[in-house]
C-alpha cells in the first residue's frame, strides 16, 4: 500500500493536455491518464451534485486498486440544511459511492464558516450517525475550532473518539504572495487564512494546500509539510496531500515538488512517473 496519497483538486483540465496529458487524448480518458501519475484526487464534484451510478461505474473502471477518491459530502447536507434532518440524503449519497469500494478515501465534510462551536452538539450528533462502512474527515472554517479555544479542544476529543480525521486547509503561502493578478486576489478572498491545527486526530489526515502561483515560492512551506508527513508516516499514518493554486493549471507541478521533497526524507517512496504530455513532446521533437 502507498505510504501516502497525493493529487489535485480535479483530475481533468483541458489546459493539462500537452503538459500533464498526451496530446490527442479524449476527455473521457483524462481520469485514466491522471490515475497513472497520481494516486488520489480531491472529489470536489460531489459537493455540487451527486453523480449517477453510471458515472460512478466509469470512474471505478478508469483507475487502479491503489487509487483513492476523497469525495465531499454534498453542500445540500453541509451548507443548505446545515446537518439538520439529513439522514436520508446522507444515506443516498453514501449508497451512490459505495460501488467504488476500497477506492473511496476519507469522505470529507466541509463545514460552513458560520457553523460555530455553539453548534458542536449538532456536529456530534451527525458524526455519531455516520455508518462505519466509510472513513471520514472534517474541515472546519469557523475560528472557534482553532488554537486553544475551548471548542477546539472539544472538537479534537470528538474526532479522536470517532476515529475521524481532520482536513487541514493551509492557505498561508497564498495569502503571503503578492497580488500579481485577478486570480490571486479572488483566491485570497475565497480561501480563508486559518490557523493550522497542532495535531492529527486519525490515521488519514488530509492537507489541502493552497499555494503561491509561482511554484518554487512554495518550497519552504512544502518542505515543512514534508517533514510533518515523514513523521506521520513513521507513526503509522497514511496522510493525503492535495495541491491547489489560484489557477490550478500548475497544481500538478506543486504535487511533484512536494513529492520530491518528501522523497528526500523517505527515500523508499517511488518517484512519480513521467507525465505523458512531456513524453509525447519528447517523442515529437525526436522526429525532427
pLDDT digits (tens, 9 = 90+) for 78-119: 999 999 999 999 999 999 999 999 999 999 999 999 999 999
pLDDT digits (tens, 9 = 90+) for 193-247: 999 987 899 999 999 999 999 999 999 999 999 999 999 999 999 999 999 999 8
The backbone region for 135, taken as left when phi is positive above 0, alpha when psi lies in -120 to 50, beta otherwise, is beta
State how far the Cα of 123 lies from the Cα of 131, in Å rounded to an integer.
15
- pLDDT of 186 strictly over 50: yes
* Helical (H) or strand (E) element with 259: helix 251-265
Contacts of 143 (CB under 8 A, 6+ apart): 149, 194, 195
How confident is residue 279, by pLDDT bands cut at 50, 70 and 90?
low
State how far the Cα of 136 lies from the Cα of 163, in Å rounded to an integer.
8
State how far the Cα of 227 lies from the Cα of 261, in Å rounded to an integer.
9
State how far the Cα of 182 lies from the Cα of 246, in Å rounded to an integer.
9
Q: Where are the domains of the chain?
A: 5-285
CA quadruple 81, 82, 85, 86: dihedral sign = positive
User: What is the reported pLDDT for 219?
Assistant: 97
Q: How many CB atoms lie within 10 A of CB 26?
A: 8
DSSP characters for 153-213? HHHHHHHHHHT-EEEEEE-HHHHHS---SHHHHHHHHHS--PPPPSS--SSS-EEEEE--S
Cβ atoms 16, 250 nearer than 8 A:
no
Cβ atoms 76, 122 nearer than 8 A:
no
- pLDDT of 278 strictly over 90: no
- pLDDT of 140 strictly over 70: yes
Domain 5-285 has CATH 3.30.70.260: no
Amino acid at each position: 500500500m502507498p505510504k501516502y496519497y497525493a493529487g489535485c483538486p480535479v483530475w481533468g483540465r483541458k489546459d493539462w493536455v500537452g503538459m500533464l496529458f498526451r496530446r490527442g487524448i479524449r476527455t473521457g480518458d483524462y481520469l485514466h491518464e491522471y490515475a497513472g501519475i497520481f494516486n488520489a484526487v480531491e472529489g470536489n464534484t460531489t459537493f455540487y451534485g451527486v453523480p449517477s451510478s453510471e458515472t460512478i461505474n466509469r470512474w471505478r473502471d478508469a483507475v487502479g486498486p491503489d487509487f483513492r477518491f476523497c469525495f465531499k459530502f454534498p453542500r445540500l447536507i453541509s451548507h443548505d440544511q446545515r446537518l439538520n434532518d439529513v439522514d436520508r440524503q446522507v444515506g443516498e449519497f453514501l449508497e451512490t459511492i459505495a460501488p467504488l469500494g476500497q477506492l473511496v478515501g476519507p469522505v470529507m465534510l466541509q463545514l460552513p464558516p458560520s457553523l460555530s462551536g455553539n453548534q458542536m452538539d449538532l456536529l456530534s450528533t451527525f458524526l455519531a450517525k455516520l455508518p462505519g462502512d466509510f472513513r471520514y474527515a472534517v474541515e472546519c472554517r469557523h475560528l472557534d475550532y482553532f488554537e486553544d479555544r475551548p471548542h477546539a479542544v472539544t472538537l479534537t476529543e470528538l474526532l479522536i473518539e470517532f476515529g475521524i480525521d481532520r482536513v487541514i486547509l493551509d492557505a498561508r503561502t497564498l495569502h503571503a504572495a503578492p497580488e500579481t493578478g485577478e486570480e490571486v486576489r479572488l483566491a485570497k478572498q475565497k480561501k480563508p487564512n486559518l490557523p493550522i491545527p497542532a495535531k492529527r486526530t486519525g490515521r488519514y489526515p488530509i492537507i489541502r494546500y493552497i499555494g503561491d502561483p509561482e511554484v518554487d515560492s512554495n518550497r519552504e512551506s512544502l518542505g515543512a509539510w514534508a517533514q510533518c508527513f515523514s513523521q506521520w508516516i513513521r507513526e503509522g499514518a497514511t496522510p493525503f496531500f492535495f495541491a491547489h493554486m489560484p489557477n490550478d493549471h500548475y497544481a500538478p507541478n506543486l504535487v511533484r515538488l512536494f513529492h520530491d521533497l518528501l522523497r528526500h526524507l523517505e527515500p523508499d517512496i517511488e518517484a512519480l512517473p513521467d507525465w505523458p504530455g512531456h513524453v509525447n513532446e519528447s517523442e515529437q521533437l525526436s522526429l525532427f
